[in-house]
Structure 1
Amino acid sequence: MIDYSPLWMTMKEKHISQYYLLQHGVDNRTLNSLKKNKNITLLTLEKLCRLLDCTPNDVVAFSENKEP
């Protein structure tokens, strides 16, 4: 399972808002996908890492789905 909670923590630590991302080329649709833990492209991941000056581990985490 994809989890973007590290992104929101990184943004908070670096005092970067969603508005900043919107101003620098991350569109509303992508932000919506991030909020819903949906897939994004590697180009988007690279853009986020450049804007936040961080690594992919600071943006996304992966976990295994636990089935009952």
Structure 2
Amino acid sequence: MITYDRFWKTLADSPETYYTLTRKHGISNGTMTKLKHNQSLTTNTLDKLCQILKCKIEDICEYVVFYD
């Protein structure tokens, strides 16, 4: 499962905010909801977030393995 917990920490440590992502950079509220609920995002969206936040993809998401 891919989680976006790292995104929220990266966002908190950056000069950007939820507001600037949605208003200034055009990230939709739907995308922000997907991040909040660990839902699928396109690689284009991940690329855009990395550019905006000036970070690596591993600063936004992480693959977590769950064992039965």
In the superposition, the TM-score normalised over structure 2's length comes to 0.92
The residue correspondences of 1:1-68 to structure 2 (distance < 5 A) are 1-23=1-23, 24-67=25-68
Q: Percent identity?
A: 34
Aligned alpha-carbon RMSD (Å) = 0.9
Count of residues paired in the alignment: 67
Gaps of 5+ in 2: none
Cα distance in 1, alignment partners of residues 55 and 11 from structure 2: 10
TM-score by length of 1: 0.92
Q: What secondary structure sits across from 2:38 in the alignment?
A: coil
C-alpha separation in 1, matches of 2:67 and 2:26? 35
- Deviates most, 41-50 or 57-66: 57-66
Structure 1 runs of 4+ with >4 Å offset? none
